[in-house]
Amino acid sequence: MSSRLKALDAYRHGLRATRIAFQNDTKVLLAARAKMRSGMVSPPNPKLTTEEQVQHLEDVAVFLRRNLVQGQKVNDSDMKESRYHLNIHKDTELGDNETVPDPTARVKTSFKARPFKCSDRKH
């Protein structure tokens, strides 16, 4: 595969990752896509080879899909403390605090992301 096609694939992966990570935040979604587009036109680090730049974009896409979770404050006049709804999706990497000191450790957990339900709130 040519480097141009690899770059286009990485760009598409990045766009998909921004759609997943910033799904309900149009302002941030458009800003992330504009930044990605400007990075494709004029790479931020011209010292890197084309392959390294493509790999960097793929790594950014993976990071956005797996590690970025947006939260939205839930406003309810009945609640005394603030609560947040987190945008956890099927690609979100869930782990435990045991692996925080060792970033190279791979965690195999059985955590499943589940959508927030109104019945989860305490009344």
Given pLDDT bands bounded at 50, 70 and 90, which one contains residue 58? Answer: very high
Of 32, 56, 33, the C-alpha closest to 44 is 56
Given pLDDT bands bounded at 50, 70 and 90, which one contains residue 123? Answer: very low
What pLDDT, on the 0 to 100 scale, is given for residue 101? 64
Phi first, then psi, for residue 80 (nearest 5°) are: -85, -35
How many other β-carbons are positioned within 10 Å of the β-carbon of residue 57? 22
Specify which residues 77 forms β-bridges with: none
Q: Which amino acid is at 96?
A: D
Find the angle CA(13)-CA(111)-CA(104) to the nearest 5 degrees.
Answer: 65
For the chain, the residue count is 123
Residue 110 has pLDDT above 60, yes or no: no
Given pLDDT bands bounded at 50, 70 and 90, which one contains residue 46? Answer: confident
Domain ranges of the chain: 3-120
Q: Tokens at residue 38, please?
A: 């400007």
**Average pLDDT score over residue span 85-111:** 69
DSSP state at residue 33: H
pTM: 0.67
Q: Which amino acid is at 47?
A: K
Residue labelled with tokens 């992330």: 32
**Average pLDDT score over residue span 23-50:** 90
